[in-house]
């Protein structure tokens, strides 16, 4: 039975199992629940969502739960903040992360706006994450979901304190299997809907035809050369937008070894390939950085502040690895930039355009968009080997990406190139010397 004293909660519903069970859990706790489905994208331009993620069966779920439900069009903002930047980033040689951008700039702002209009006290979604109030520090903490395999906190790094105060993530306290069991036990139609792994605006997860339709004439779709890091031409590419750092398959070149995309050269319209070892880097630069705790953001951006020990994830499915985080002056923007140094081991295929999300244990600290990778310094460039010679010549200073930030980073051999065969700007700068 609904206890209106518990409050009225707006639940963002897709028709999938997580948001459906989130609504059911809130009903069990006595909340009055209102469902809403944002029409962010429809392949046929319909008012209701018609795409890879949202299902019209959400209506049936709402009827099963006995709750009020609405469809709300949010397509204009979604196109402006997510789809158009998605196309622009790909054609500029970067690999964007649209889900994180949607959550930060479209989904949650719109849901909270609707909640205020409709007299709801809070907003809930089916994300696998948790929120805790820290009484001692007087702030909210965003934590990983209880199920490490389904944790979605990576995509929620852009939430702020005001938003966390009004958000609820009911399924974040459960494992995915528990969610499926609840849906089956309650006979929810969402229990028979397969999980979508595709972006809502990409039919069948195919970015190539999508980009060709929306970026015709852009330079990123112009064919060009595939070269190795010595500049030797190995083949032709179809357009930089169709390649990403770390890619091995689909290159269409024959070589005596396995070659991977290690950089995209936008200036000369070239795909640069190399051995797998060239994919590993010592750190990264990220911009458009957001910290969930404003005090941490202020501390990191303060000139001369010491680095902060964190763990960082450089893509959704990667593990969080130990690192040092330090603020730095922005290169060509007023937005906050940070440098991240991996402290235990180099990381593979750090890709411009993807998200770097910062953690301390279970807590999400914030994150930003990767601008470029920081190269490893090859052994030959590490200077004298004895302790005395090292101190005299400053070898320790040259071993750390963070310590190099005040100097000319492009002087390093990128990505640990063996034998120093070429000096090129790292993958995120998209160019090499001709």
Active site residues: 102, 200
Q: Cβ of 44: how many Cβ atoms within 10 Å? A: 7
Q: How far apart are alpha carbons 291 and 356 in whole angstroms?
A: 12
Q: In the numeric block, which tokens belong to residue 364?
A: 């999400």
Would you give the DSSP letter of residue 240? G
Neighbours of 34 (CB within 10 A): 21
Sign of CA dihedral 230, 235, 239, 243: negative
CB atoms within 10 A of CB 288: 17
Task: Determine the Cα–Cα distance for residues 357 and 141; give it in Å rounded to an integer.
Answer: 15
Report the chain's C-alpha Rg in angstroms.
Answer: 24
CA distance 308 to 339: 11
Q: How far apart are CA 390 and CA 316, in angstroms?
A: 39
Looking only at the bridges linking them, the beta strands covering 129-134 and 139-144 are antiparallel
- The tokens of 333 are what? 């923007």
Instruction: Give the single-character DSSP code of 177.
Output: H
Q: For the chain, how many residues are written?
A: 434
Q: How far apart are CA 370 and CA 347, in angstroms?
A: 13
Residues ≥6 apart with Cβ < 8 Å to 51: 40, 41, 42, 43, 200, 201
Yes or no: say if 248 and 259 are a contact pair by the CB < 8 Å rule: yes
């Amino acid at each position: 039975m609904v206890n209106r004293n518990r409050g009225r909660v707006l639940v963002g519903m897709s028709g999938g199992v997580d948001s459906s069970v989130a609504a059911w859990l809130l009903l069990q706790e006595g909340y009055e629940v209102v469902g809403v489905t944002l029409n962010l994208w429809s392949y046929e331009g319909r008012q209701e969502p018609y795409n890879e993620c949202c299902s019209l069966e959400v209506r049936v779920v709402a009827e099963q739960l006995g709750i009020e439900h609405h469809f709300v069009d949010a397509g204009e903002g979604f196109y402006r903040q997510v789809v158009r930047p998605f196309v622009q980033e790909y054609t500029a040689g970067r690999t964007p992360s649209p889900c994180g951008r949607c959550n930060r700039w479209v989904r949650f702002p719109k849901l909270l706006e609707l909640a205020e209009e409709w007299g709801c006290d809070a907003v809930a979604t089916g994300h696998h994450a948790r929120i805790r109030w820290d009484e001692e520090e007087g702030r909210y903490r965003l934590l990983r979901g209880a199920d490490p395999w389904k944790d979605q906190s990576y995509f929620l790094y852009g939430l702020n304190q005001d938003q966390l105060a009004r958000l609820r993530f009911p399924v974040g306290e459960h494992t995915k299997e528990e969610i499926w069991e609840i849906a089956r036990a309650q006979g929810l139609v969402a229990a028979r809907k397969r999980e979508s792994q595709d972006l809502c605006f990409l039919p069948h997860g195919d970015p190539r035809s999508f980009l060709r339709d929306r970026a015709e004439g852009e330079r990123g779709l112009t064919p060009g050369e595939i070269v190795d890091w010595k500049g030797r031409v190995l083949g032709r590419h179809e357009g930089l937008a169709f390649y990403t750092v770390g890619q091995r398959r689909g290159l269409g070149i024959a070589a005596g070894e396995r070659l991977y995309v290690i950089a995209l050269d936008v200036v000369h319209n070239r795909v640069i390939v190399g051995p797998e070892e060239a994919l590993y880097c010592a750190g990264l630069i990220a911009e458009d950085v957001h910290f969930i705790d404003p005090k941490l953001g202020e501390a990191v951006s303060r000139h001369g502040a010491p680095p902060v020990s964190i763990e960082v994830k450089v893509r959704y499915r990667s593990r969080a690895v130990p690192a040092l985080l330090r603020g730095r002056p922005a290169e060509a923007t007023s937005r906050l930039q940070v440098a991240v140094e991996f402290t235990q081991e180099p990381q593979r295929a750090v890709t411009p355009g993807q998200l770097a999300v910062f953690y301390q244990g279970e807590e999400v600290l914030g994150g930003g968009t990767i601008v470029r990778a920081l190269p490893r310094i090859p052994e030959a460039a590490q200077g004298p080997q004895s302790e005395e010679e090292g101190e005299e010549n400053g070898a320790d200073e040259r071993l750390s990406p963070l310590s190099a930030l005040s100097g000319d980073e492009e002087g390093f051999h990128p990505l640990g190139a063996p034998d120093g065969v070429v000096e090129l700007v790292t993958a995120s700068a998209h160019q090499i010397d001709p």
